[in-house]
Amino acid sequence: MATIRDVAKEAGVSVATVSRVLNETGYVHADTRKRVTEAMKNLNYSPNEVARSLYKKKSKLIGLLLPDITNPFFPQLARGVEDELQKDGYRILFGNSDENAEKELDYLNTFIQNNVVGIISATNNKSKTNYDGLSIPVVFLDRTSSDYPSVYADGKEGGRIAAEEIVKRGSKRITLLKGPAHIQPAQDRFQGALEELSRSDIDFHVMSTTSFAFEDAVKWAKELFSMYPDTDGVLASNDIVATAILHEALRLGKAIPKDIQIIGFDDIPQSSLLFPSLSTIRQPAYEMGKEAAQLLIKLINKQSVHQQHIQMPVTFIERHTTRKVDTNG
């Protein structure tokens, strides 16, 4: 690898001059610039980002921390983040935390040690204290925070809409699935649905679940139908869980949506590919990723940001696990 000194020698100038043409700062004579540019080309020179980063105490790297890229909701987020950051020349240092505080802290440390210039975190771990005292901007994604900038979907409203839609479509004995207690977005959507159902004159049960893993969800699905066999509507905590419910209902020979309606949450890509395709509350994951990235870039550039907390709209996606609404109703 050629260094700036090699280029300087080749062009017969000092390193300062090379640096000036590199960064387009200060004065450089047109002829000199040309000589330097050619020397760079000859030597196939490309500046060492590490040396730059050391002196400037800032890199072109940002840290992205996700709970688990294997969960189909997150690749969309990640892609939104990347597409947006890439435009400004930022690169991503990436890690999965598994919602494990130790892993999270570990990644945060290496982010800092590598001079990242900003962090986007979609973890849901309580210990936000991990982020206190950081001297670089952090934006939380898929998570609310009063202390830090954040981008999240309106989970409560989503839960409300789901409840409203399923009631509107005639379910009378609803089971409401309450997601993991430590995942705030799951609790928001649960609250929204709970409030809306309480307001209605519908019978409903609440069933607690503790993870979003499909294998676990299958167990809850079986439990649900054995405990509440006459359930005719399920509000699932996310699309993974909804898929498990759908499977179990089909296995039991229930007609969908005639005997039982199901509404999921997230609108992960596979939801439209199920059969019957899943009605769900859509979170605009890709756009959320982009928003978070844009917000972070503004923060990095110390531009003023009108809104530190960006709430994204949530929409009901009507597919085939819900009935057509009775317009005569």
Partner DNA sequence: TTTAAATGTGTAAACGGTTACATACAAGAA
Partner DNA sequence: TTCTTGTATGTAACCGTTTACACATTTAAA
The yes or no reply on residue 223 touching a second copy (CB under 8 A) is no
Q: Which stretch binds DNA (CB under 7 A): 19-27, 64-72, 156-164, 196-204?
A: 19-27
Question: Taking CB within 5 to 8 Å according to partner kind, which of a second copy, DNA, none is near residue 56?
Answer: DNA
Task: Establish how many alpha carbons lie within 13 A of residue 118's alpha carbon, considering only the half-sphere containing its beta carbon.
Answer: 24
User: Which distant-in-sequence residues (6+ apart) come within 8 Å of 8 by Cβ?
Assistant: 14, 15, 17, 18
By C-beta, is 185 or 289 nearer to a second copy? 289
The yes or no reply on residue 259 touching a second copy (CB under 8 A) is no
Report, in Å, the least distance between residue 210 CB and a second copy: 20
CA distance linking residue 251 with residue 242, whole number of Å = 14
User: Which distant-in-sequence residues (6+ apart) come within 8 Å of 126 by Cβ?
Assistant: 101, 182
Site for a second copy in 226-245 (CB under 8 A): 243
Of the candidate residues 48, 110, 127, 301, the single one contacting DNA (CB under 7 A): 48
The yes or no reply on residue 127 touching DNA (CB under 7 A) is no
Per-residue DSSP letter, 275: S
The yes or no reply on residue 61 touching DNA (CB under 7 A) is no
CA distance linking residue 37 with residue 44, whole number of Å = 10
The yes or no reply on residue 215 touching DNA (CB under 7 A) is no
Q: Which stretch binds DNA (CB under 7 A): 40-48, 73-81, 218-226, 288-296?
A: 40-48
Task: Identify whether the C-beta of residue 283 lies closer than 8 Å to the C-beta of residue 314.
Answer: yes
Residues in contact with a second copy, shown as a per-residue x/- string from 108 to 137 under the rule CB under 8 A: -xx-xxxx----------------------
Of 148, 101, 100, 146, the closest CA to residue 120 belongs to 148
CA distance linking residue 311 with residue 300, whole number of Å = 20
Instruction: Give the number of other CB atoms < 10 A from CB of residue 257.
Output: 24
Q: Give how far the C-alpha of residue 118 lies from the chain's centroid of Cα atoms, to the nearest Å.
A: 16
The arrangement of strands across the sheet holding 261-266 comes to 203-208, 173-178, 233-235, 261-266, 279-282, 315-317
The yes or no reply on residue 97 touching a second copy (CB under 8 A) is no
Site for a second copy in 272-301 (CB under 8 A): 273-275
Report, in Å, the least distance between residue 138 CB and a second copy: 16
The yes or no reply on residue 262 touching a second copy (CB under 8 A) is no
The yes or no reply on residue 37 touching DNA (CB under 7 A) is no
> Residues interacting with DNA, by CB under 7 A?
1-5, 12-17, 19-20, 22-23, 25-33, 45, 47-48, 51-52, 54-57
